[in-house]
């Protein structure tokens, strides 16, 4: 039954992509799952340099530009998900984009968005209130204005998951590392014995 449900979900998502592709090539998010699916289209465009999110401009494979970052922001702040916390699936899709893009010409916009999305997810799954996405993920909002206040209440399991996503990456994200360091900084003593790998990941040990 579980396998059938997974298969049905994949088929439904594929149908959604094909149906919406007739309009603009990228599905308008109706929920967090469809937002995550839309982000994978951006990921594919970054990898191949082709697809609906690369039209109208020169786009080399494995590169990420300001338009790619703007696509990510547009999807993550769509009206249907604006007041929802960022999901793990959405963050995982962002990490996949981050891994795929070996060349950057976005002036750090994607790194800023990734760090904020991770913080938003980490706080929400720890049972903490978070600002609307249009506020929290905005390039005009400093992550320091809201994320640090949750630092000592983020669950250890969430920090472990973030560390697992960051571990072994060839390209470091300074914004993300600073955010994780902030989260860990307020909880260093209780977490020091539990999460040595986390500290090692961000160079704090």
Task: Name the band, by pLDDT with cuts 50, 70 and 90, for residue 8.
Answer: very low
Q: Retrieve residue 98's tokens.
A: 């981050």
Residue span of the structural domain in which 143 resides: 2-201
Tokens 């973030």 -> residue: 162
Share of the chain above pLDDT 70, in %: 71
Provide the whole-model pTM: 0.78
Residue 152: per-residue pLDDT: 73
SS3 61: coil
The Cα angle at residue 179 between residues 69 and 30, in degrees rounded to 5: 45
Residue 144: per-residue pLDDT: 84
Residue 75: per-residue pLDDT: 97
Residue 168: per-residue pLDDT: 64
What contacts 128, CB < 8 A, 6 or more positions away? 150, 153, 154
- Summarised one tens digit per residue, pLDDT across range 92-139 is 999 999 999 999 999 999 999 999 999 999 999 999 899 999 999 999
Higher pLDDT pick, 158 / 168: 158
Q: Retrieve residue 125's tokens.
A: 């799954």
What is the number of structural domains in the chain?
1
Candidate from 3-17, 30-44, 175-189 with smallest mean pLDDT? 3-17
Is residue 110 within 8 A of residue 68, CB to CB? The reply is: yes
Q: Retrieve residue 38's tokens.
A: 């839309």
Which of 76-80, 157-161, 178-182, 191-195 has the highest mean predicted lDDT (pLDDT)? Answer: 76-80
| Rg, C-alpha atoms of the chain | 17
């Amino acid at each position: 039954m579980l396998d059938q449900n997974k298969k049905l979900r994949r088929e439904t998502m594929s149908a959604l992509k094909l149906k919406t592709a007739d309009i603009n090539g990228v599905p308008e998010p109706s929920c967090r799952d469809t937002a995550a699916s839309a982000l994978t289209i951006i990921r594919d465009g970054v990898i191949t340099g082709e697809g609906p999110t690369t039209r109208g401009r020169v786009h080399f494979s494995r590169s990420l530009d300001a338009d790619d970052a703007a696509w990510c922001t547009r999807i993550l702040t769509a009206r249907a998900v604006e007041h929802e916390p960022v999901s793990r699936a959405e963050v995982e899709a962002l990490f996949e984009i981050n891994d795929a893009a070996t060349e950057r010409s976005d002036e750090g916009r994607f790194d800023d968005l990734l760090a904020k999305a991770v913080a938003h997810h980490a706080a929400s799954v720890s049972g903490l209130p978070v600002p609307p996405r249009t506020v929290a993920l905005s390039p005009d909002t400093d992550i320091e204005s809201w994320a640090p206040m949750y630092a000592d209440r983020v669950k250890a399991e969430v920090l472990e998951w973030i560390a697992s996503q960051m571990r072994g990456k060839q390209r470091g994200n300074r914004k993300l590392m600073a955010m994780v360091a902030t989260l860990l900084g307020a909880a260093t003593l209780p977490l020091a014995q539990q999460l040595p790998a986390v500290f090692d990941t961000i160079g704090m040990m």
